[in-house]
Amino acid sequence: MNSQAVIAIATVLLLGWQPSQAADQQGRFNVLGLGTHSCGEFVEAANPDEDASRPWTDYNLYTAYTSGYLTGYNEFVEGTLDIRGQKKMLEIMAKIQTFCAEHPDQDFHAGLIEVVAELEPYRKRGLDGGL
């Protein structure tokens, strides 16, 4: 899969996330796409076999999905300029990989929630949220 395809997938993920799709009154919402994959599937993608015909393609899709998720967080969480703070995407993906290795039966979305909770206190805040 080329970089244009990855960008197209990330764009679709971002455009599909609208404020009107927030959780219902019970806090429930529907997780889509790679977020429904198991953590075990992500760990496999992060450690491809040497014989794999597309060794990093799946991992790159998880990275694109994560970037879209974090971008949505930045857009819709008031006062947040960048949830990553000083962290790079490779560091964030490594944190998700650690969580997923310890919880292979949970879904990838659970890993995202865990990492966002860790990043939140260190996020870059917008002008309306202070620095």
At 46, list the tokens.
Answer: 């992060």
Burial level of 2, CB count in 10 A (0-12/13-18/19+)?
exposed
Cα gap 8→127, rounded to integer Å: 31
Q: Which amino acid is at 110?
A: A
Q: For residue range 76-86, list pLDDT tens digits in order.
A: 898 899 999 99
**95 within 8 A of 112, measured Cβ to Cβ:** no
Considering the entire predicted model, what is its pTM?
Answer: 0.74
- Using one digit for the tens of pLDDT, what is the confidence trace for 13-62? 444 444 444 677 777 777 888 888 899 999 998 887 766 666 678 889 99
Length of the chain: 131
Q: How many helices (H) and strands (E) does the chain have?
A: 5, 2
